[in-house]
Amino acid sequence: MTYEATVQFKFDATYTYNYSSSFDADDFIPEEHYKITAPAADLNAKQYFKLFEKFMLCVGMTPASIRSGAMSLVFNDYTNEEEQRKVCKEYELTMDEDLDKKFEEWKKRDEEWAQLKKGPMGTVLQQQEDLIGMEQ
């Protein structure tokens, strides 16, 4: 037994020019029809989103608003914080409430790096050339 499935996005628009309008008729297409069809039997979630992204681009959405819409599916008041954190970990993102902790980690690393950069007798090496000069 075989299984076949397709998914289809369809957009139809018509524009009737109003002669009293200040818009130029050259800026509009009187009719637009978009139909995107794809085999759906084996599509995963990311492939469905990619397909829908193409559809939204066809109907005039900007890439920024598409990304914002996709992120709003995860980062909203109705999504469990644990699920949000899983997505953050997968994409190496930091949630706002975790920024203070990250900042403290960065300060500690900067201090450790400053200790490592110290030269003989506690002097601080200023340039990469100083390091090269010491090797010779």
Q: What is the pLDDT of residues 47-97, one digit of tens each?
A: 999 999 999 998 889 999 999 999 999 999 999 999 999 999 999 999 989
The predicted structure's pLDDT at residue 71: 93
pLDDT band per the 50, 70, 90 thresholds, residue 125: low
pLDDT band per the 50, 70, 90 thresholds, residue 127: low
Between helices 63-74 and 81-90, what is the axis angle to 10°? 130
pTM given for the model: 0.61
Q: Domain residue spans in the chain? A: 95-136
Contact in structure between 9 and 52 (CB atoms under 8 Å): yes
The predicted structure's pLDDT at residue 126: 62
